[in-house]
Amino acid sequence: MARAPVRRNRGIEIPYPESLRRNTQEIELLTRVASLYYLEDATQAEIATTLGLSRPKIARLLHKARAEGIVEIAIRTHPALNMALESELAARFHLSRAILVADQRSEDIQRTLTARAAAEFLARTLPAQGVVAIGMGRNVGAIPEQLTSPPERPCTFVSAIGGSPQVGASVNPGDICRRLAERFHGSAEILFAPAYAEDMASRAAFLQHADVRETLARARAAETAIVGIGDAEDESAVVRMGCFSTNDMARMRKEGAVGDILGYFFDAQGAPVADSVGSRVVGLSADDLRAIPGVIAVTSEPDKVRAVLGALRTGIADVLVTSLRTARQVLASSDQS
């Protein structure tokens, strides 16, 4: 009888649980079936014959391989379709580049594809050395994981805004800086301050601190910045972070706010609103961002059309990475207005 696999703990042999061994064998089978079908173009009937299994069994295994995340299927739109919309979007809003990805029903998959497109653009365009200012949010935070084998780009990744303990570390700029630095073999410089101070006096105190002042000066001198586009809804990131209440957000919507970039809110025409809110931000200003040569704005959510349109009209973004659906709706909304 074959001996069960064992794991060692300080010299003591401990048998692996039978359930774990069965799980490992199943994963190996799922991987083999998926590889034969998707990478070697074998038919389900051929795989069934090779492995001595029924064809319905193979179909179930392929379905499970997708459900378990062993297989990930991405649909890429034809370049001809992308190019027409990308060119129109870039021309309309004076962008140097628009990058559009296929529409997905799943919000998580949409974010993954958008982050992957941004990651591929970074891998192609980042200089060998330089400074990159990093914003916050789920879309920006998803980019590092999509850099599977990037070239070495020993840049300095610097926080463009403070963080918040109210949200997961993966969406805070400091954590994103560290993860990008690891993948590009660069370095990270973190802004140890909150994204929003309690009031103008507190913000002034933070800005007088030598470390905060020097980090923001480094971020202002960046050649590239990566930012997300927030909205002005009750479920927005700044509300989840505890920076604003839903009443605060309702007041800003009444003033015309449709979205924000790094905490600076704007209306549908891209004009600033709620200036008292912006005066609490510990981070780069809208003018600071406009002075950076290459600002990459990344957004994947389908319900941010007004926010994206307003963001493009601020003149902050040089590159937009989003979905085909969002691009079409932004262009249509721009025509209507």
Q: Quickly list DSSP for 190-246.
A: ---SBSB-SSHHHHHHHHHSHHHHHHHHHHHT-SEEEEE-EE-STTSHHHHTTSS-H
Say whether pLDDT at 10 is over 50. Answer: no
Asked whether the beta carbons of 230 and 237 are under 8 A apart, the reply is yes
**Residue 6: per-residue pLDDT:** 41
Read off the pLDDT of each residue in 316-336 and give the average, rounded to a whole number: 94
Residues 36 and 120 in one domain: no
Average per-residue pLDDT for the chain:
87
- 1 within a domain of the structure (yes/no): no
Say whether pLDDT at 310 is over 50. Answer: yes
Say whether pLDDT at 133 is over 60. Answer: yes
**Residue 218: per-residue pLDDT:** 96
CA dist., res. 327 & res. 203, Å (int): 36
Read off the pLDDT of each residue in 233-251 and give the average, rounded to a whole number: 79
- 219 within a domain of the structure (yes/no): yes
- 74 within a domain of the structure (yes/no): no
Residues 45 and 102 in one domain: no
Q: Select the more confidently predicted residue: 42 or 278.
A: 42
- 135 within a domain of the structure (yes/no): yes
What is the domain-level CATH number for residue 47? 1.10.10.10
Q: Select the more confidently predicted residue: 215 or 14.
A: 215
Say whether pLDDT at 140 is over 70. Answer: yes
Q: Select the more confidently predicted residue: 328 or 235.
A: 328
- 288 within a domain of the structure (yes/no): yes
Percent of the chain with pLDDT over 90: 60
pLDDT tens digit string along 17-57?
Answer: 554 455 778 888 999 999 899 888 899 999 999 999 999 99
> pLDDT band at residue 1, thresholds of 50, 70 and 90?
very low
- 72 within a domain of the structure (yes/no): no
Residues 106 and 183 in one domain: yes
Burial class of residue 7, CB neighbours in 10 A (0-12, 13-18, 19+): exposed
Residues 50 and 152 in one domain: no
Say whether pLDDT at 295 is over 50. Answer: yes
**Residue 333: per-residue pLDDT:** 92
Residues 104 and 59 in one domain: no
**Residue 121: per-residue pLDDT:** 95
Residues 123 and 46 in one domain: no
Residues 154 and 302 in one domain: yes
**Look-up: residue for tokens 């400091």?**
174
What is the domain-level CATH number for residue 270? 3.40.50.1360
Residues 215 and 153 in one domain: yes
Say whether pLDDT at 119 is over 60. Answer: yes
Q: Which residues contact 131 (CB under 8 A, 6 or more apart)?
A: 155, 156, 158, 218, 219, 221, 222, 223, 224
**Residue 20: per-residue pLDDT:** 45
The parent domain of residue 202 ranges over 79-336
CA dist., res. 139 & res. 302, Å (int): 13
**Residue 240: per-residue pLDDT:** 73
- 121 within a domain of the structure (yes/no): yes
Read off the pLDDT of each residue in 246-265 and give the average, rounded to a whole number: 89
Residues 279 and 200 in one domain: yes
Q: Which residues contact 22 (CB under 8 A, 6 or more apart)?
A: none
How many domains is the chain partitioned into structurally? 2
Say whether pLDDT at 281 is over 80. Answer: yes
> pLDDT band at residue 77, thresholds of 50, 70 and 90?
low
CA dist., res. 237 & res. 171, Å (int): 10
